[in-house]
Amino acid sequence: IAGITQAPTSQILAAGRRMTLRCTQDMRHNAMYWYRQDLGLGLRLIHYSNTAGTTGKGEVPDGYSVSRANTDDFPLTLASAVPSQTSVYFCASSLGDTQYFGPGTRLTVL
C-alpha cells in the first residue's frame, strides 16, 4: 500500500507560470488537505476537501485552487506562481480525526 503519493518531488518554476501539484491516496479516505510549510515554521492549511465533489478554504488559500473529482485525487493548482509561493507543499488525507501526510513537493518560484 503506497498511502499518499505526491508529484513532482521538487520543481523550479518561473514566476507567472501555471503549476499543478498532484496528490493521490489509496486508502479511500474521505477527507484530504493541502498544507504549505515555510522554512522553520509549522504547516499551514491551504485548502481541504471533506469528500469528493466538495472543497473548502483553509488558513492561506489565496493564489491556490483545488478540485476533488474523485476520492483518490486532490490536485493543487497555482494559476500564476509568485516567489512568495516558494515552499514545501504537503498533501494529507484523514480517517476520522487523524491525518496522514505525503512526502511533500519542494517548489521554488523564481
Partner 1 sequence: DAKTTQPNSMESNEEEPVHLPCNHSTISGTDYIHWYRQLPSQGPEYVIHGLTSNVNNRMASLAIAEDRKSSTLILHRATLRDAAVYYCILSRPSSGTYKYIFGTGTRLKVLA
Binding mask 25-54 for partner 1 (x = CB under 8 A): ------x---x----xxxxxx--x-xx---
Residue with Cβ nearer partner 1 (50 or 80): 50
**Cα separation values, 38 from 45, 75, 90, 98, 99, Å:** 12, 20, 11, 23, 20
Binding mask 54-83 for partner 1 (x = CB under 8 A): --x-x-------------------------
Answer yes or no: are the C-beta atoms of 35 and 89 closer than 8 Å: yes
Q: Which of 74, 85, 104, 107 binds partner 1 (CB under 8 A)?
A: 104
Nearest residue to 101 (alpha-carbon basis) of 24, 21, 30, 4: 4
Cell 507560470 belongs to which residue?
Answer: 17
Judge if the upstream peptide bond of residue 83 is cis by omega within 30 degrees of 0: no
Interface with partner 1 includes 2 (CB under 8 A)?
no
Binding residues (CB under 8 A) for partner 1: these are: 4, 31, 35, 40-45, 48, 50-51, 56, 58, 90, 92, 94, 96-104
